[in-house]
């Protein structure tokens, strides 16, 4: 996708637009009914001028509450696993694992945010925004100023399926996630949400 198209799409996503009345309902349906979820994703990180910093892709899955697995395949290999109590960040290239408590990670990674049950409704002020094409957009602004993201927008299909996320951080960098090959409520085995550090890697804990 060209930079011009990125600018056009993200400008629409990040500017105020007329209010609609179905996105919050879609979120509530997603939180209450999507107890497990898996999808592939493409991720684009842009600076405040919408210049592309990095692109990545991989797969993700979660089981509420608090269990998730987020795998980056390209351009580097990284694994993030939430086991319900801790979040493990495994960087294969660095041979390093960083461990955080789950409650510390909820506002810092999209995976933890999506797997956190009513976390979005509890910790964010919600505002419905316009339907753009086939996507209904919801804006979430954190109540806690220490949250890693200043603004989050969730894009749902008209049938209530999560399709996109746009996240803006305190440096005005934008992370744009597009989900594909989506399955709601698949059967996920418990071992997917467990992690044992490989031998020889450095483990850094809070």
State residue 106's pLDDT score: 67
| CATH number, position 83 | 2.50.20.10
Q: What is the mean pLDDT of the chain?
A: 85
pLDDT tops 90 at residue 27: no
Say if 29 falls within a structural domain.
yes
pLDDT tops 90 at residue 147: no
Query: How many separate domains does the chain show?
Result: 1
Distances 79 to 43, 69, 74, 181, 189 between C-alpha atoms, Å? 15, 7, 12, 20, 17
Question: 12: which 2 tokens?
Answer: 């629409």
Domain that holds residue 188: 17-205
Distances 41 to 101, 104, 181, 202 between C-alpha atoms, Å? 25, 24, 9, 28
Over residues 19-40, mean pLDDT: 83
Rounded to the nearest angstrom, the gap between the alpha carbon of residue 8 and the centroid of all alpha carbons in its chain is 22
Query: Which segment of 18-22, 36-40, 75-79, 144-148 scores lowest on mean pLDDT?
Result: 18-22
d(Cα 153, Cα 129) in Å, to the nearest integer?
9
Question: 3: which 2 tokens?
Answer: 């930079």
State residue 89's pLDDT score: 95
Say if 3 falls within a structural domain.
no
d(Cα 45, Cα 102) in Å, to the nearest integer?
24
């Amino acid at each position: 996708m060209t930079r011009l198209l990125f600018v056009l799409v993200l400008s629409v996503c990040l500017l105020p637009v007329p209010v609609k009345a179905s996105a919050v309902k879609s979120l509530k349906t997603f939180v209450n009914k999507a107890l497990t979820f898996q999808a592939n994703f493409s991720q684009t990180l842009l600076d405040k001028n919408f210049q592309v910093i990095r692109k990545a892709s991989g797969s993700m899955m979660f089981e509420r509450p608090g269990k998730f697995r987020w795998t980056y395949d390209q351009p580097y290999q990284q694994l993030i696993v939430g086991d319900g109590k801790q979040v493990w960040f495994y960087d294969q290239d660095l041979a390093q694992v960083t461990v955080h408590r789950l409650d510390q990670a909820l506002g810092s990674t999209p995976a933890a945010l999506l797997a956190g049950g009513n976390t979005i409704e509890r910790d964010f002020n919600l505002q419905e925004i316009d339907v753009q094409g086939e996507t209904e957009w919801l804006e979430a602004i954190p109540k806690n100023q220490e949250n890693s993201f200043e603004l989050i927008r969730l894009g749902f299909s008209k049938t209530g399926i999560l399709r996109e996320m746009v996240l803006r951080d305190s440096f005005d960098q934008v992370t744009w996630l597009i989900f594909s090959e989506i399955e709601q409520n698949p059967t996920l085995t418990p071992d997917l949400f467990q992690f044992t550090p490989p031998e020889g890697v450095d483990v850094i804990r809070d």
